[in-house]
Amino acid sequence: MSVRDLDADVIVVGAGNAAACAAIAARNGGASVLMLEAAPQSERGGNSTYTAGAMRYAFNGVEDVLSLVPDINEDTLAKTDFGTYTEEQFFDDMFRVTQFRTDPDLCELLVKRSLSTMQWMRKQGVRFQTSHGRQAYNVNGRFQFWGGLSVEVWGGGPGLVDMLLASAEKKGVKIAYETAAVSLLRDNDGIHGVRVRCNGREHDLHCKAVVLACGGFESNAEMRARYLGPNWDLAKVRGTRFNTGAGITMALSAGAMPFGHWSGAHAVGWDQNAPAFGDLAVGDAFQKHSYPFGIMINARGERFVDEGADFRNYTYAKYGREVLAQPGQFAWQVFDAKVQHLLRDEYRIRQITKVSSDTLEGLAEKMEGVDAAGFLKTVAQFNAAVRQDVAFNPNVKDGRAAETIVPRKSNWANTIDTGPYEAYAVTCGVTFTFGGLKVGQDAQVQDQAGRPIPGLFAAGELVGGLFYHNYPGGTGLTSGAVFGKIAGENAAIEAIANKSRSAA
């Protein structure tokens, strides 16, 4: 297939979750569709491929969960309390974690279309399963979901991308690999195509509408330093190396309005010795998300965050920034024997920076870069501050605090006094950037005056305005799917209308 033969009604830039949902929706709407993927086929699917496939959606009870996972067996159903995660709860979480900055119109679409979009994905061939392993603890024989996340995609991120792209191709969508969009073709009437680079040569591809779904600028060290600030160029990238901000840059050149939290990003605690970009063989397992059950200390041996401020679904995405701000940009997570059974699977992988010792003094010596005396003092102060009158319960915000110290630990505080002890070294791993383009409710990109740019739509990470400061876990895939579907549907409508006008 020569790149020159690839003109289509709708060109979708990217081949991750948002792009695939857009391509399927545009094809369902009757348009011919071409997807452009900068990566080779073996690395296709962007950050979506690196995920565990967790998706946040509003549900009113087990019936809604069953509409996505109809085959939960009776025994599991009897032992599980899924609870509810209503639209109100989803709104509350979005408002709270973004410090009330999320764009209300975009947020409303995200929340209100979350369940129906996932039901639509199921119709397009995506399979879901319950998230018992990561989102519910077994307490006295019952599983209780605690963090608004009840399902994940079967096969995680790789499964999601495979299922969506197989569905798209079955419907006749073409995918051009190793074909990067470099600019938009435009005139006074709007966007009419994409200039691409393929095999070192540039070509113009023509279409009636373009959907940009090619990620944020997290993989571009220069843009990270420019917009996120000093030392962000030193962060590790958790996922794809291909999200270099090209979609945002080309849209801004075409007059699009920058929108959202340009100095903000989703960033987590990530193994200190992980590679510069994600490794698909390891996926998301370089992350270290069980810090609510221990303490995190820096090079001075001091704590620097409230590890138990909230369930980790609501703190992990902002704590990478806190780690980056520490001397040397690293921290150690410390756990004693009492809580080690609660550590997530990612603490048991081979590629890990871990030390252990039967004594705290021995551990202090082994944690590279840490002031041992400072660490031992911190642990003594912490242990003295732990409330012993409140029972520990990982399924609820238990209020078992370490109160008389700074920073306090608000929940799940246990003394660190029982060997063997373990410590894990983390640095900052950036997931995706929050700033991007302004879109309307039809996912059409707006210009600097707030007018829609004819023929230009956007979805996924490069949509600005949803996330500020922080993010509720599992929302990225849902946002990509919701806005991808809307973008694809409207791009098809516009493309077909344009075609009829040109034919008349």
Ligand X SMILES: Cc1cc2nc3c(=O)[nH]c(=O)nc-3n(C[C@H](O)[C@H](O)[C@H](O)COP(=O)(O)OP(=O)(O)OC[C@H]3O[C@@H](n4cnc5c(N)ncnc54)[C@H](O)[C@@H]3O)c2cc1C
DSSP sequence for 189-254: TEEEEEEEEETTEEEEEE-SEEEE----STT-HHHIIIII-TTGGGSEE-S-S--SSHHHHHHHHT
Among 3, 11, 15, 23, binds ligand X (CB under 6 A): 15
Q: Is 215 in the site for ligand X (CB under 6 A)?
A: yes
Return the range that interacts with ligand X (CB under 6 A); candidates 41-49, 93-101, 140-148, 291-299: 41-49
Q: Indicate the residue among 18 and 299 with the shorter CB distance to ligand X.
A: 18
Out of 11, 23, 32, 45, the only residue in the binding site for ligand X (CB under 6 A) is 45
Task: For residue 36, state whether it binds ligand X (rule: CB under 6 A).
Answer: yes
- CA torsion, ordered 453, 471, 270, 14, to nearest 10 deg: -20
DSSP letter at 284 equals: T
Closer residue to ligand X, CB minimum distance, 166 or 373: 166
How many residues does the structure list for the chain?
Answer: 504
CB 34 within 8 A of CB 12: yes
Burial class of 154 by CB neighbour count within 10 A (0 to 12, 13 to 18, 19+):
middle
Check residue 446 for interaction with ligand X (CB under 6 A).
no
> Cβ-count burial of 214 within 10 angstroms (0-12 exposed, 13-18 middle, 19+ buried)?
buried
436 makes contact with ligand X (CB under 6 A): no
Evaluated on CA atoms 213, 218, 222, 224, the torsion sign reads: positive
Which is closer to ligand X, CB of 306 or CB of 346? 346
| 37: contact with ligand X by CB under 6 A | yes
Kindly identify the residues of this chain, within the stretch 120-149, that bind ligand X according to CB under 6 A: none
- Residue recorded with tokens 């050149």: 253
Total interface residues for ligand X by CB under 6 A: 44
Residue 51 touching ligand X (CB under 6 A): yes
* 214 is a contact residue toward ligand X (CB under 6 A): yes
Among 11, 12, 14, 26, binds ligand X (CB under 6 A): 14
Single out the segment in contact with ligand X by CB under 6 A; choices: 34-42, 202-210, 369-377, 414-422: 34-42
Binds ligand X by CB under 6 A, chosen from 129, 130, 220, 243 = 243
Select 436 or 454, whichever has its Cβ closest to ligand X. 436
How far apart are the C-alpha atoms of 188 and 169, rounded to whole Å? Answer: 33
Which residues are CB-contacts of 320 (< 8 A; sequence separation ≥ 6)?
A: 235, 266, 267, 268, 269, 270, 428, 429, 430, 431
Q: Does 57 bind ligand X (CB under 6 A)?
A: no
Distance CA 13, CA 20 (A): 10
Rule CB under 6 A: is residue 472 a binding residue for ligand X? no
Residue 69: count of CB within 10 angstroms of its CB: 18
- Contact with ligand X (CB under 6 A): which of 6, 10, 19, 370? 19
Q: Is 433 in the site for ligand X (CB under 6 A)?
A: no
How near is the Cβ of 80 to ligand X at its closest, in Å? 20
| Per CB under 6 A, 239 contacts ligand X | yes
Under the binding rule (CB under 6 A), the answer on residue 487 touching ligand X is no
Rounded to a whole number of angstroms, the distance between the first and last alpha carbons of the chain is 31
Nearest to 14 by CA among 492, 484, 498: 484
Under the rule (CB under 6 A), what is the footprint of ligand X? 13-19, 36-39, 44-48, 50-55, 180-181, 213-215, 238-240, 242-243, 246, 278, 284, 431-432, 460-461, 474-477, 480
